[in-house]
Structure 1
Amino acid sequence: MGKSLEEVHGSVATQNKKSVFRKILAFFGPAYLISVGYMDPGNWATDIAGGSQFGYSLLWVLLMSNIMALLLQSLSARLGIVTQRDLAQASRETYSKFINYILYFLAEIAIAACDLAEVLGMAIGINLLFGIPMIEGVMITVLDTFLLLFLINKGIRKMEAFIIALVAVIGISFIFEMIFAQPEMDKVLLGLIPSMPNEAALYIAIGIIGATVMPHNLYLHSSLVQTRTFDRSNAGIKQALKYNFIDSTIALNLAFFVNAAILILAAATFYRNGMFQVAEIQDAHQFLEPLLGTKWAPVLFAVALIAAGQSSTITGTLAGQIIMEGYLNLRIQPWVRRIITRLIAIVPAVIVISIFGEGVTGKLLILSQVILSLQLGFAIIPLIHFVSDKSKMKGFHIGKVTQIASWVVATIIVILNAKLVFDEIKGWLETSQNPLLLWLTVVPLAIAFLVLLLYIVFKPFISKAKIDIQNHSPHNLKLEFSKSVKGDKKNVAVALDFSSADEVALNSAFELGGVDAKYTLIHVQESVGAMIYGENIEDHETLIDEKILKEYKEMLSEKGFAVETKLGFGNPDKAIPEIINKGNFDVLVMGTHGHTGFRDLIFGTTVDKLRHKISIPLLIVKN
């Protein structure tokens, strides 16, 4: 199994810092990338709807959601720090292939729902600030694909700095909005006391929970914490857990401030003036200036909305890549992955807006958050199981009190979602002209998901998780060790990808160098983590790859070959030339699976880029 976010895995050093402050600062960053998911445009829609309809009375839901988020994100960070696996990888090791395919499908639905909110939020912000129609604004959001690729190539610290700058823009904007709105502080405090005005408030409350505690953030956080290298001793792991918890506490409380500010703004302006039906972001923007008496209120609102959409779309894309690689062990070109994710969101948005008009965007945003909430159980329950597992967590499993709190949170979320689904299906059955169709489709599907949820809850209690063992072994290859061959190459480099292509590459190398040559075996980690964090990454996949390279070396050394190994990180077309140009090689040999055309676009091509970057002969052997 590959490294999580291999491009940037372990690329940030936390050791050898001269002061405690610098050490803490080295760990700061991942939670800020997580926090933007808690203040994305989907949150705006639910917060505005909650504030305008029910005043300050749902503030306690935001506070509760923030506490839930802090607990769950700390569990996610713990999983990544201790096991060096992200949540998707841990699920892949634990459940069957069939179950993992379903969990992957549900996680992709969550990503699509999240991206739909980001697309609509960005488009609304562009429309409000520049007057560009919504459809054109939705199409413009495709361009942020290239911003993500630019940032990821600059390294994780620059990406974190960019995100923190956007978060600062959002925070500063709402500080001024609060000054303009002058909320009633006594009612704000009363809003922190739990109450539920009516059934409609429950729908909004579930939307707020779905918008706040986001499933894709659980996958993302467990990967991002692996970008830091630190002492892997028990003391080092404890320190990493402590500093990441501090990071999460600060970042998520900032997100809580933004969400609370949006709801308070809606309550102080719309609810106070009897405008109870303001649920659309566009309406909120339109009414801010006349109600607050300043032209800066709507401008700051639109700027903050664009910043929220842009920042959350970056983290959503990273989460999508982690989910695909973790569940399917499938890596495709980052820009292809980004465009696929964006199109999944854009197509339904364009269709719905074209048919029903721009007025439905608020309902779409709230629906997207409810979908996220419905998927939460399928991410939270496996996470709780994993961090409670003594063997998996190597002594860093969570205690009984934390386990109980985690299961209480999971139970609250699942029960709220179950009630929402039950009420929705009941309403459809009562109003449908063809209820039999619903009984044959929607009802069985809901029952199937309930059975799946119960399976995920009880499965780890009755069977031990299977241990991840890399299925590739050099001993499975049919290699030809002919000691009679006397090749003319003295220093041969061989690029390996731990597939059947290795067999033809090594056999071809033996023909060139014979038994007297020196062989350097090169393998490149290609995950998102390695691309961002480079050689500083320390995760489970790195250990596995190092182990396999060691097996190659031991096997070939026993046969009488002189062998060295090199492990690279990131894009092979960059990492391999870097290794080759630093050495004194006569030839580079690499196998290829021979895919061309469209498959090159999807999976990428190394050969064409590689041959222009090295000064020695390149022998390409087709598998």
Structure 2
Amino acid sequence: MIESFDSPPEVILSEGSSKVVRHLELQVESCMNQTEKKNKFRYYWKNIYSWFIGLIKFAGPGWLVCIGLIDAGNYEGDIQAGASFQYKLIWVIWWSAVIEVLFQILSIRLGLYARMDLAQACRKNYPPLARYVLWIINETSMVASDLTQVIGFSIACEILFHMPLYAGVLLSFVTTLLILSLQYWNIRYLELAVVAIMFTMCVTFFIQWSMVDTDGAEMMKGWIIPSLPSGSTLVVLAQVGCCIMPQNLFLQSSMVQTRKVESTKSELHKAYVYNVIEFILPMLLAFVANLAVISLAAVGFYKNPQIEISSSDISLSNTCQLLLTVYPEKGAGCILFGLSLLASSQSASVSGTFAGQIVIEGFIDIKMSLWLRNLLTRAITIVPALIVAILAGNQGSSLALLISSSIVSSTIPFATFPLLKFTQSSKVMGSFKNPKYVYVIMWFIAIGIAVTNMYLIVGSQGDDTLQNSLSSLSALSILGIIATILIGGLYLAALIYLIYYPVTFDSDVYQVAI
């Protein structure tokens, strides 16, 4: 007879058996913990890998933009700053770079969320007369900026290949068009070419920096404590113009649109973060490269008894010879300087020409083939560069570099003011418009730059200043004063117009999905 049980029989384990069971339970628990840790590790590694791949996808535009911050104009300003004022003007480079980052972030937002570049937004918003004036001013800025690249390339060719300046100008015309032809295959090839050239430039200058003994304490002092030594006006203007470049705002707002992004808030935010990080990394590299140039000039040229010329006469054209004088045992320094100058000038010419295409098409709405755009943009700048190279010579070319960079500095508000108006407008940006605190801070910075430029141009004292040039009270000086008042009045009127003119158009930002 089979007995039935309402519940299973109790299993009574001995003390030894219970220890074995407990040991097995601990082993199982340990295995589960290890498996959970492995799964977490794989999860984190997978996220990091996915994030890195996403960053690589968006890499390129930031490098193309940042090359403009280590061009021949920067070299000239850095060498003048280091040779004449040692480390005292490093703070100008640093804060100009910080301000450039802030404005570039706004241009990323405009291009990504409103789906238009800054030039296109200006064409849609302003009446024809104002639009054409803005185009001419920004085109003048780019011609002045590109002039520094072409002259820098020519000086590098003279150093490396003993070519006359005008021959280097013509060679720059050809090489820039050849590199720009990479657009025919894919814009990524052009970006990769510029990144490779930029790395070449940075490596050569870092090697040169390692050859000198930088005074770290004085360098940090010049970085942290602002000062404006007498006679530094033109150099400061040049450094500001070379770091806060209006053309980069047009370029960045267009280049961020070359990556395909889904029109959802989450995907757009992810693309925004990638673009900002991708831009900041080369910006840091560009700042360190500028530090290297200033340090090289500060250590080798500042109050050096071996140098017989005055510090104001030290420039790109004679830097190579001065390096051989100061460091005769390091003959490679001159070659490295020539290579870095050649690489930076060439890549900056490519970047500037590409920005010129965006400005012409955006403001004027001209549709033309790629080869014609490249040819037209390069032709606009090659003529003034040839004139400077033929008539001014080496010493005149160096002064032209500083003046060109100063012109760029004075045109900064004509790009930053419209950018601020558009990015704070709900018509253009929708829910992505600038927060109020960003609005206040950025307008304070933008107006501060305009006021600083006017002071440095008109109010500062010293040898190389407008005030000194117009102080003789001769007939020519009086005419100069009248012209300065007229130009200054038009300048102020144009800025007030840009501040108060309303935003009058709607963008495609409303098509963004949740």
Q: TM-score, normalised by structure 1?
A: 0.69
* Cross-structure match for 1:327: 363
* Cross-structure match for 1:203: 234
- Find the aligned partners of 1:117 and 1:435 in 2 and give their Cα distance: 28
Could you tell me whether the CA contact under 8 Å between 1:93 and 1:467 is conserved in 2? no
Distance change >3 Å, CA 421–CA 190, structure 1 → 2: closer
* Cross-structure match for 1:578: none
* Cross-structure match for 1:420: 456
Note if 1:454 corresponds to 2:496.
yes
Distance change >3 Å, CA 340–CA 442, structure 1 → 2: farther
Match of 2:190 among 159, 169, 184: 159
* Cross-structure match for 1:618: none
* Cross-structure match for 2:411: 375
Could you tell me whether the CA contact under 8 Å between 1:115 and 1:342 is conserved in 2? no
Q: TM-score, normalised by structure 2?
A: 0.84
Could you tell me whether the CA contact under 8 Å between 1:48 and 1:262 is conserved in 2? yes
* Cross-structure match for 1:392: 428
Distance change >3 Å, CA 351–CA 149, structure 1 → 2: closer
Match of 1:93 among 124, 136, 150: 124
* Cross-structure match for 1:434: 476
1:278, distance to aligned residue in structure 2 (A): 4.8
Note if 1:287 corresponds to 2:322.
yes
Amino acid corresponding to residue 331 of structure 1 in structure 2:
K
Match of 1:259 among 287, 290, 299: 290
1:138, distance to aligned residue in structure 2 (A): 1.5
Could you tell me whether the CA contact under 8 Å between 1:206 and 1:416 is conserved in 2? no
Note if 1:445 corresponds to 2:480.
no
Note if 1:351 corresponds to 2:391.
no
Could you tell me whether the CA contact under 8 Å between 2:177 and 2:375 is conserved in 1? no
1:442, distance to aligned residue in structure 2 (A): 4.6
Could you tell me whether the CA contact under 8 Å between 1:122 and 1:306 is conserved in 2? yes
1:398, distance to aligned residue in structure 2 (A): 1.8
- Find the aligned partners of 2:287 and 2:365 in 1 and give their Cα distance: 35
- Find the aligned partners of 1:341 and 1:420 in 2 and give their Cα distance: 31
Count of aligned pairs between the two proteins:
453
Flag structure 2 segments of 5+ consecutive residues without an equivalent: 1-47, 460-464
Amino acid corresponding to residue 415 of structure 2 in structure 1:
A
Q: How does 1:66-215 map to 2 (within 5 A)?
A: 66-215=97-246
Note if 1:401 corresponds to 2:437.
yes
Distance change >3 Å, CA 422–CA 121, structure 1 → 2: same
- Find the aligned partners of 1:428 and 1:331 in 2 and give their Cα distance: 45
- Find the aligned partners of 2:469 and 2:373 in 1 and give their Cα distance: 36
1:19, distance to aligned residue in structure 2 (A): 1.6
Could you tell me whether the CA contact under 8 Å between 1:280 and 1:361 is conserved in 2? no
1:394, distance to aligned residue in structure 2 (A): 1.9
Match of 1:311 among 329, 347, 350: 347
- Find the aligned partners of 1:39 and 1:396 in 2 and give their Cα distance: 32
Amino acid corresponding to residue 294 of structure 2 in structure 1:
L
Indicate the RMSD between aligned Cα atoms, in angstroms: 2.2
- Higher deviation after alignment, 258-267 or 332-341: 332-341
Flag structure 1 segments of 5+ consecutive residues without an equivalent: 1-16, 469-538, 544-623
Amino acid corresponding to residue 110 of structure 1 in structure 2:
S
* Cross-structure match for 1:227: 258
Distance change >3 Å, CA 433–CA 393, structure 1 → 2: same
Could you tell me whether the CA contact under 8 Å between 1:270 and 1:278 is conserved in 2? no
Note if 1:24 corresponds to 2:55.
yes
Amino acid corresponding to residue 486 of structure 2 in structure 1:
P
Q: Secondary structure at the match of 2:312?
A: coil
Could you tell me whether the CA contact under 8 Å between 1:48 and 1:281 is conserved in 2? yes
* Cross-structure match for 2:25: none
Deviations 1:249-302 (A, max 9, x none): 101111111111111111111015255335311221111133233111111111
- Find the aligned partners of 2:82 and 2:368 in 1 and give their Cα distance: 42
1:306, distance to aligned residue in structure 2 (A): 0.6
Could you tell me whether the CA contact under 8 Å between 2:428 and 2:506 is conserved in 1? no
Amino acid corresponding to residue 459 of structure 1 in structure 2:
Y
* Cross-structure match for 1:471: none
Q: Secondary structure at the match of 1:181?
A: coil
Could you tell me whether the CA contact under 8 Å between 2:204 and 2:336 is conserved in 1? yes
Higher strand proportion, which one?
A: 1
Distance change >3 Å, CA 185–CA 143, structure 1 → 2: same
Could you tell me whether the CA contact under 8 Å between 1:116 and 1:349 is conserved in 2? yes
- Higher deviation after alignment, 357-366 or 439-448: 439-448
Amino acid corresponding to residue 441 of structure 2 in structure 1:
A
Higher helix proportion, which one?
A: 2
Note if 1:465 corresponds to 2:501.
no
Deviations 1:291-345 (A, max 9, x none): 2331111111110111111101111111111111111101234434333433333
